[in-house]
Structure 1
């Protein structure tokens, strides 16, 4: 993977993760770095699913692939937020 590919993955991951956080209601107790990581993973898995289904090679914007990516990011952010909340519940302050 080239430097340009890595930077592109980070930017797309940040956008996908941010969109996922916007679509979820309430406050998610996760940081921006974790949001970007969830977004990158969701983008990669969403692309793989779109290719498997046969919709990743459409002309123009791949809207179906984007829906897969954002949907997976929403699930990922919700799962990480739930895990973070459960982990903080046992901490006494």
Structure 2
């Protein structure tokens, strides 16, 4: 993977991760790096999902693929936030 490819993945991951966080209610206790990581994974999985159902090769913006990616990012952010909340509880 080239430097340009890595930078592109980070930028797209940040955008998809941020959009995934926006569709969730409330505040999620995860940082920027986790958001980007979740976004990158969601973008890759969303693209694979779109290709598997045959909607990844449309003209213009692939809206269905984008919905898959954002939905997966929202699920990923919710899972990570849930694990982080569970790990920060104090037991008395």
Q: TM-score under structure 1 normalisation?
A: 0.95
Q: Deviations over 1:30-81 (max 9, x none)?
A: 0000000000000000000111111111000000000000000000000000
Tell me if 1:55 matches 2:37: no
Note the C-alpha offset of 1:91.
6.5
Map 1:12-91 → 2, pairs under 5 A: 12-90=12-90
Q: Structure 2: which 5+ runs fail to align? A: none
Question: Counterparts of 1:21 and 1:9 in 2: how far apart (Å)?
Answer: 18
Question: Counterparts of 1:22 and 1:69 in 2: how far apart (Å)?
Answer: 13
Q: Structure 1: which 5+ runs fail to align? A: none
Show the counterpart of 2:7: 7
Flag as ranges the 4+ runs of structure 1 deviating above 6 A: none
RMSD: 1.2
Q: TM-score under structure 2 normalisation?
A: 0.96
